[in-house]
Amino acid sequence: MSIRLATAGESHGPALVGILTGLPAGLELDRDAIDSDLARRQAGYGRSPRQQIEQDRIEVLAGLRHGRTLGTPLAFVVRNLDHRNWTWGMSAWPPDGEPQGKGTRPVTLPRPGHADLAGVLKYGLGDVRDALERASARHTAAHVAAGAVAKSLLARVEVAVRGEPVDVEALRQRIDAARAERDTAGGVIEVRADGVPPGLGTYAAREDRLDGRLAAALMGIQAVKGVEIGDGFALAGLFGSQAHDEILTDLSRASNRAGGIEAGISNGEEIVVRAAMKPLPTLMKPLRSVDLATGEPAQALVERSDVAAVEALAVVAEAAVAWELAVAAHDKFGGDSVDDFVGAWRAYLDRIGWQPR
Ligand SMILES: Cc1cc2nc3c(=O)[nH]c(=O)nc-3n(C[C@H](O)[C@H](O)[C@H](O)COP(=O)(O)O)c2cc1C
């Protein structure tokens, strides 16, 4: 059975929800490690005051006993503490009493670059809030929690995954400049995975290529508009003799321009992927839009928002890469118990004679 994740939850609803199925039994989870990734996602230069309201923590509802997975669906929630200000506005059922708190009036001013216009048209909605609440990146918290679980599985076979922004100094300067202009900024992040042996992913089917799965997972994160594996776009300008990674007698490579993946399969080198994030669409100096209630020209919605979330993206992207590597590893090695999974991994490394570097 493949490892799968389903999530639910709106940005200002009561909670984010995740259900992981197919996880092997006997995997020890560390609550502090999961909460620490959730805290890393909330931090970072340029984040909004919302992050001071939220203190994300995982609450596990099923699938775990005394810190070990049971091999049954793992269900968890991360509560939205800000929901207390939105109990009327985000009530699941028709609310009782007078409107109070936030979200009481329909939003009719779609923001360029956000889900607002495409969302209301697609789903036939009268209130932009009905689109933006789920499109918001708030629910990346559920993905980060799932990524932390994936990292626990990968840690059992000594694979480590780490994401960080590229060129933090320049990024911070760009964020300062954006803030001074009441504008927003984007940036580039990089995720590296160490200890991945040759053989995860396949060329046999397009949807199972490891590079394709990683690109889809990263592209699936809000505001990511470009993904590179290894030297990516730069390779297009090189000659073949400059672009490929020569093979040495111990089967390692003289360079790693491929980012650790050839033909959709990990090749034993470090996995290196990058993602480009666009500047965030909610602007304090809004762009031109239209009031959907009147059809008249208007300025787009202004609401509390990050100036940049590139450092948060690094954490979300790390979780996405860890998730996809765990899925690809479990697809290859299987195992109803974590010991079965680790045993199959080790037997395979013995067969190919590969030493973790
Ligand atoms: C961690 C993270 C935080 C984000 N925070 C904001 C934000 O505060 N304001 C905003 O307008 N967009 C924010 N975004 C981006 C929007 O969610 C995204 O641009 C929007 O959903 C439209 O999707 P698209 O950019 O992929 O087309 C954030 C994205 C991420 C990954």
Atom of ligand 1 nearest to the CA of 315: 1
- 117 CB less than 6 Å from ligand 1? no
Cα–Cα distance for residue pair 261/270, rounded to 1 Å: 9
- 316 CB less than 6 Å from ligand 1? yes
| pTM summary value | 0.98
The pLDDT, as a whole number, for residue 212 is 98
The tokens of 7 are what? 């999530």
Atom of ligand 1 nearest to the CA of 312: 1
> What confidence tens digit (pLDDT) does each residue in 97-106 have?
999 999 999 9
Answer whether residue 192 shows pLDDT above 90: yes
- 114 CB less than 6 Å from ligand 1? yes
- The Å distance, Cα 32 to ligand 1 centre, comes to 27
- Mean pLDDT throughout 13-30? 98
Q: Whose CA is nearest to atom 12 of ligand 1?
A: 280
Atom of ligand 1 nearest to the CA of 114: 22
Cα–Cα distance for residue pair 310/171, rounded to 1 Å: 8
- The three-state DSSP-derived secondary structure of the chain is CCCEEEEECCCCCCEEEEEEECCCECCECCHHHHHHHHHHHHCCCCCCCHHHHCCCCCEEEECEECCEECCCCEEEEEECHHHHHCCCCCCCCCCCCCCCCCCCCCCCCCCCCCCHHHHHHHHCCCCCHHHHHHHCHHHHHHHHHHHHHHHHHHHCCCCEEEEEECCHHHHHHHHHHHHHCCCCCCEEEEEEEECCCCCCECCCCHHHCHHHHHHHHHHCCCCEEEEEECCHHHHCCCCHHHHCCCECCCCCECCCCCCCEECCEECCCCEEEEEEECCCCCCCCCCEEECCCCCCEEECCCCCCCCCCHHHHHHHHHHHHHHHHHHHHHHHHCCCEHHHHHHHHHHHHHHHCCCCC
- 310 CB less than 6 Å from ligand 1? no
- Mean pLDDT throughout 181-206? 97
Q: Whose CA is nearest to atom 13 of ligand 1?
A: 280
Answer whether residue 49 shows pLDDT above 80: no
> What confidence tens digit (pLDDT) does each residue in 302-345 have?
988 899 999 999 999 999 999 999 999 999 999 999 999 999 99
> What confidence tens digit (pLDDT) does each residue in 55-86 have?
999 999 999 999 999 999 999 999 999 999 99
Strand partners for 191:
163, 273
- 11 CB less than 6 Å from ligand 1? no
- 322 CB less than 6 Å from ligand 1? no
- 223 CB less than 6 Å from ligand 1? yes
- The Å distance, Cα 299 to ligand 1 centre, comes to 19
**Letter for the amino acid at 234?**
A
- 193 CB less than 6 Å from ligand 1? no
The tokens of 213 are what? 């799965």
- 275 CB less than 6 Å from ligand 1? no
- The Å distance, Cα 196 to ligand 1 centre, comes to 31
352 band by pLDDT with thresholds 50, 70 and 90: very high
> What confidence tens digit (pLDDT) does each residue in 153-178 have?
999 999 999 999 999 999 999 999 99
Burial letters 200-224, b for 16+ CB under 10 A, else e:
bbbeeeeeebbbbbbbebbeebbbb
Average pLDDT, the chain: 96
- 135 CB less than 6 Å from ligand 1? yes
207 band by pLDDT with thresholds 50, 70 and 90: very high
The tokens of 242 are what? 């400059």
Burial letters 168-199, b for 16+ CB under 10 A, else e:
eeebbebbeebbeeebbbbbbbbbbbbbbbbb
Which burial class, exposed, middle or buried, applies to 134 when counting CB atoms under 10 A from its CB (0-12, 13-18, 19+)? middle
The pLDDT, as a whole number, for residue 74 is 98
- 136 CB less than 6 Å from ligand 1? yes
